[in-house]
Amino acid sequence: MSLQKTPERVQAADLDDADKALFSLRKQIFGPDADTALKALYGHRADFQDWLARFYDIAAQGFANRSAELRELDAKRVYTPDWFQKPHMLGYSAYADRFGGTLDGVRQRLSYLSDLGVTYLHLMPVTCPREGESDGGYAVADYERIDPRLGTMQDLEALASACRKHGISLVSDLALNHTADTHEWAQAARAGDPVYQGYYHCFSDRQHPDQYEETLEEVFPASAPGNFTHIAEMDQWVWTTFYPYQWDLNYANPAVFGEILRIMLVLANRGVEVLRLDSVAFMWKRLGTDCRNQPQVHHLLRAFRALTRIAAPALALKAEAIVAPEHLTAYLGEGKYAGEECHLGYHNTLMVLLWSALAEGRAERLTEMLRRMPAPPANTSWITYIRCHDDIGWPVLDVDREAQGPSDHVRFLSDFYAGRVAGGFARGQSFQTGEDRAVHGSSGMLASLAGLEAALQEDDETAIDLALARIRLLYSIIFAFGGIPLLYMGDELGMLNDYSYETDPLKATDSRWLHRPDMDWKTAEMRHDSGSIAGRVYAMTRHLIACRADFPALHGDTPSRPLSGDNPHIFMMRRSGARGRLLLLANFAPNPQSATIKAINAARFRFPLQDRLTGQTYEGSGDLVLGPYNTVWLEEV
């Protein structure tokens, strides 16, 4: 289905009186935001008013298709707009097939997630991918059909409803920068249809591609060099930022905006509560730039946000914008549009900095870069995480670097997390790191990167304890930082790297499959065994979840402020607001470190202080000593 083939259009005038009044009220409130953003994008076109009317028709169709269950959810979310900021929120991300086999299999495992405390389940792409290589499912061949290996749209709807009964919001990916080359739009373009060629960036020769390439970077220089692919059947060059089989959509064409808006509402009406907007930074192309973070991207996001608020206000948008720190907060909205783009955004910078600090054993870089970032706008939140399905991208640490090539520090991190540094604890692999020493990122499961794999291989109890302390250290920060902490499948059990991908020809060249294992349900059955490694990791994780869940100071609207202390190995962060206060101290060193009374007083906290994680009270009779990789959450008592 597409806009070109839709047999009829539902208009607001077609709604019954009650629905018409509600739709009109929402349009009155949020329509001006949509109109302003869309005019900035398409206002120069003679047919702008026709397109604007069509966008509202798409919103009306989506509104009309909301079920009674989802309309009730809409009403609840209108009255509780901070639902995703509450401290009990806990995210979990997984590939559906690797977690449950099928969508129905995932549904049957929801009690496991509920027991863990999960309230937000992100399933990696479930829509139908292209056959063969598919970038882990992010090359979508059909947005309105589920991968047949996972089930059907009816199975998705049943899973979403079951999730709500467990208090879990279902999150789904929307790859909106590109489609697969086998998508019906791409197939029509390949066959010569000029309408669908207009859905993509197609060029008859290399003149314009070469001009763009002068300022473009390559995302995957080792495996997919260049940003354009020649398509022989149409004898044209197509923009392919990521892989040759992923064709970038042309949002300068209003039809593309309309198609994606319609698809958003189709998924929302199947019960998806959060859409992860993949690769949003790349959505607009402008000659002479790197074609990332362009102003028009933010117009697009504001328009999507406003129109989905009219049709389906329970739907939240999450930005997957892996960009430099100075650009990150903008995806939540800034200035007069603060809070008017995505509800949620991945705090990629925090994730990368935590791994950097762990390798260095020092917190200065972590503190300095976080202090330079603005706080998220009101009514928005971060997704804080340690691992995900993707690599740890080191270039974000070189944003201020003027010289060509990666810095020595980035090279060190790539080597450290690939196990190439003598005495290092990590076991992982480099991702997209070329012979010229260009560095993209690192792959690996949390436990392996934190030293547990090596410690178990060496049967070293002391090293095992230190590895578990590193895992606790990282989790204790993302659980306290602000936003929704996101667990990656298997990390709650201490699952290790999966090297089996190296024997699969479709995966062997992509080291990210190192951290995409099948869920180990046999190990999961041991999660309550305090004598097992899985039991120790699980208990530690559950304890942090419980400590966070009923702590008002960890609500998303309480500001987080990294502080400059007097010990370079200790990360200090204050959260202070009307809901309460917290002082976090985290030791990144492998040996004990002291936080001075002076530094704690400078943070505007007064003794006695109690650690929420252990219940231990500190009277202030001396400096506060933190053991190796230890963390405290301090409250005034």
CA angle, 522 then 524 then 525, to 5°: 70
Whether 345 and 321 have beta carbons less than 8 Å apart is answered as yes
Pick the closest to residue 342 from 331, 352, 334 (CA basis): 331
Q: 459 pLDDT exceeds 60?
A: yes
pLDDT of residue 8: 57
DSSP β-bridge partners for residue 346: 383
Q: 313 pLDDT exceeds 90?
A: yes
pLDDT band at 289 (very low <50, low <70, confident <90, very high): very high
Q: Domains in the chain, please, with CATH?
A: 178-248 (3.90.400.10), 559-636 (2.60.40.1180)
HEC string of 128-141? EECCCCCHHHCCEE
Give me the DSSP letters along 303-317.
HHHHHHHHH-TT-EE
Burial of 492-519, coded b for 16+ CB within 10 Å and e otherwise, reads bbbbbbbeebeeeeebeebbbbbbbbeb
pLDDT of residue 400: 74
- Round to the nearest angstrom and report the end-to-end CA distance of the chain: 61
Helix/strand/coil for 508: coil
pLDDT of residue 222: 80
At residue 169, what is the residue type?
S
pLDDT of residue 488: 98
pLDDT of residue 11: 73
pLDDT band at 432 (very low <50, low <70, confident <90, very high): confident
Both structure tokens of 413:
């991190």
- Average pLDDT of span 79-86: 97
- Average pLDDT of span 619-636: 96
DSSP β-bridge partners for residue 230: 237
Q: How many residues comprise the chain?
A: 637
- Average pLDDT of span 403-412: 86
Q: 499 pLDDT exceeds 60?
A: yes
Report how far residue 529's alpha carbon sits from residue 609's, in angstroms, rounded to the nearest whole number.
33
pLDDT of residue 620: 92
At residue 337, what is the residue type?
Y
Report how far residue 457's alpha carbon sits from residue 435's, in angstroms, rounded to the nearest whole number.
29
DSSP summary character for residue 359:
H
pLDDT band at 632 (very low <50, low <70, confident <90, very high): very high
pLDDT band at 181 (very low <50, low <70, confident <90, very high): very high
pLDDT of residue 506: 87
625 sits in which H/E element: strand 624-626
Q: Which segment of 27-31, 41-45, 219-223, 595-599 scores lowest on mean pLDDT?
A: 219-223
Q: 5 pLDDT exceeds 70?
A: no
Sheet holding 580-587, edge to edge: 560-563, 570-577, 580-587, 631-636, 609-611, 617-618
Q: What is the pLDDT of residues 124-133, one digit of tens each?
A: 999 999 999 9
- Average pLDDT of span 612-623: 96
- Average pLDDT of span 449-475: 98
Pick the closest to residue 483 from 323, 589, 351 (CA basis): 351
Give me the DSSP letters along 202-237.
EESSSHHHHHHHTTPPPSSTTTS-SSEEEETTTTEE
Q: 285 pLDDT exceeds 70?
A: yes
- Average pLDDT of span 245-252: 98
- Average pLDDT of span 397-414: 84
By annotation, the residues acting in catalysis are 278, 320
pLDDT band at 9 (very low <50, low <70, confident <90, very high): low
Conformation bin of residue 620: beta by default, left when phi > 0, alpha when psi is -120 to 50: left
pLDDT of residue 437: 52
pLDDT of residue 512: 95
Q: What is the pLDDT of residues 342-355, one digit of tens each?
A: 999 999 999 999 99
Report how far residue 84's alpha carbon sits from residue 167's, in angstroms, rounded to the nearest whole number.
12
pLDDT of residue 434: 59
Report how far residue 258's alpha carbon sits from residue 304's, in angstroms, rounded to the nearest whole number.
10
pLDDT of residue 1: 63
Mean pLDDT of the chain: 95
